[in-house]
Structures are given as structure tokens and as C-alpha cells.
Amino acid sequence: MQFSPFAEGNESRTPAEVFAVRENGSEPNGPGWIVRVVPNKFPALESEGELERVGEGVYDQISGIGAHEVVVETPNPEEALADLSEAHVQKVALAYRHRLQELSRDPRIRYILIYKNHGSAAGATVLHSHTQILGMPVMPTTVKRELESARDHFLNKERCLFCDILRQELSSGSRIVFEEEDFVAICPFASRFPFEVLLLPRHHAHDFSRTSDEQLGSFAGSLKRVLQALKKTLGDPAYNFLLHSAPVAEAPVHRSDDWQTLSLDYHWHVEIIPRLTRVAGFEWGTGFYMNPMPPEDAARYLRESLS
């Protein structure tokens, strides 16, 4: 067994926890936890300091201020998120919600990304199952384009873009992995990568931090089902998991029209991208992706694994 600084009993090897789901009677920063959140020991962004923005000719510079945390999903370094019970995955989701709520109170933070790198091919440097949370003082380019597309669609049609996609996919059925009362999993049209999966709330919701306890339970079951389908079909592939929720709408610096329809036009979702192919020269040079697996076939294979 490889040594893990995140394993139960090694709490002194990490910074002090900022949140934990614990067994009754267990003391903070000691054994007895189920899910534990700690600051990243080697953060991409620092929480201490002043946020400074300066110009350098046509360029901008900003100080590396924000938040970088690690959600340790299980005390056992041999367990993967896909193999945890639904009740345990719900506790992981509870940690996500809590940290989104807390970090959103920092006026320096504009966007909070929750992401998971599973496997070394996906960028994981510690194999113990964990998720990372990065609170950034700027809006990421990919998220900004997604927000703008959702807003433009709503202003043109007075409907949520993601809800429209869901209606079309449910009507067609060919790219549906599964549909449940609260969540739907699809292999997106023109998927960038083989077996890429999009998991969305079936009913409109823009902000994961407002998810109820009951909805967290449904989300945990659906997320586990997707991960199990990928594991059965592909043999536990490396993957990246991205949770895109609403930005921090209370952030003090933004365009005046950014958030007027946010609760109506945006729809939080999870993207799961197995790392089966590489992004190479063609993709970097064009922004196009060569995907050898049609999403209709990928959805069929994943459905069959769940039957």
C-alpha cells in the first residue's frame, strides 16, 4: 500500500481541517472522520494578502489571492469515489455545498471551481481519492463563455439553454445514459472526448450551493451511478470531474449586465471526462476535437453496463 498523507491517522501531515463530517464524539484534526476538508498544502492561490490588479501595457496582472482546498473523500486510501456508498457520497457532496457557501462570502473571490483528477493520467499527484476546490479572483475563460452563451440564449428565447438541451435529449433518447426523477446523465452531442458524460439536474437550478439535503442524496446516487458505469465499461479509467455552478454573484467587480438573469438562464452541471485520448497539435491549433467514439454509441455502452 502506498503511503498517503490523507489517510486516517495522518491528520498532523495536513493543514488543520476547515470542515469535516465526523463520527459522533471524534475530535477535530484527529481520527474518526468520514469526509475531511483541508487547505491545500501547496496551493495554487494564497488566502492571505491583498488583491491587487495592475496593468502592464496591453496586459493585466493580478495577485495570486484566492482559496485552494482539498476534500478528502474517504479515510481509506484504497477506496475510490465510485465505490463508496450513496450515503458516503452524499457526505462528500455536503462538503462541496458547505465550502461553496463559505468561500462565496470572501469578496475577493469571483468564481469557485470544484474539480477532481482521478488517476495519474488525469493529473492526480496523490492517488488517495480527493477533490479540489479553487476559489479564483477572476472569471475563467471557459466558464465566462458558457455563462454568456446561456445568457444570450435566454435573452433570445426566454428559456434556459440547458433545459432546452435536456428536453431535446430526453425526446431523442439516443444519447441518454439514464434518467431519474431529479437527474439526467447524457453523452453530449458532438462530445469532445470518448465517453464524456454530462450530469444535470432534471429541474432548473443554477446554484449547487442552494441544493437541499434531499437533492444532495439524489445527486450522490446519480453521480455514483455514472462513475460505476464508466468503471464497468472502461475498467476504472483516469478521468476529470468538473462541477460548474453559478459564479459568486455578490462579487463587487463585474459588468452591470452579468447577473440580471443568472438564476433563470444558468443551470449547474457536472462534466466527467475520461482520459482516453490526448489533446495534441490539431486540437491545440484549431480548437476542434477528434473523437473516435460517437456519443450515441458511448451512451449505449454505458446504458448496457447498468442493465
For 5, how many CA atoms within 13 A lie in the half-sphere containing its CB?
A: 12
Query: How would residue 25 be classed by pLDDT, with cut points 50, 70 and 90?
Result: confident
- The values of phi and psi at residue 267, to 5°, are -145, 110
pLDDT value at position 293?
96
**DSSP collapsed to 3 states, 108-169:** CCCEEEEEEEECHHHCCCCCCCEEEEEEECCCCHHHHHHHHHHHHHHHHHCCCHHHHHHHHH
Query: How would residue 57 be classed by pLDDT, with cut points 50, 70 and 90?
Result: confident
pLDDT one-digit tens code per residue, 133-154: 999 999 999 999 999 999 999 9
pLDDT one-digit tens code per residue, 245-269: 999 976 555 555 567 899 999 999 9
pLDDT value at position 258?
62
pLDDT value at position 47?
85
102 secondary structure, DSSP code: H
pLDDT (average), residues 11-33: 93
- CB burial of residue 69 (10 Å; 0-12, 13-18, 19+): buried
pLDDT one-digit tens code per residue, 181-224: 999 999 999 999 999 999 999 999 999 999 999 999 999 999 99
Which helix or strand (DSSP H or E) is residue 219 part of?
A: helix 213-234
pLDDT (average), residues 4-14: 95
- Asked if 42 contacts 33 with a C-beta cutoff of 8 angstroms, the reply is no
pLDDT value at position 63?
84
CA nearest neighbour of 148 among 51, 37, 84, 139:
139
Residue 116 has pLDDT above 70, yes or no: yes
pLDDT value at position 254?
54
pLDDT value at position 48?
84
Distance CA 158, CA 100 (A): 28
Give pTM, 2 decimals: 0.94
Reduced to 3 states (helix: H, G, I; strand: E, B; else coil), residue 269 is strand
Average pLDDT along the chain: 93
Domain ranges for the chain, please list them: 11-306
Amino acid in position 246: A
250 secondary structure, DSSP code: T
Positive or negative, the CA dihedral 199, 273, 161, 256 is: positive
Question: For the packed helices 213-234 and 295-306, what is the interaxial angle rounded to 10 degrees?
Answer: 100
Residue 235 has pLDDT above 80, yes or no: yes
How big is the chain by its Cα radius of gyration, in Å? 20
Q: Name the architecture of domain 11-306.
A: 2-Layer Sandwich (3.30)
pLDDT value at position 1?
57
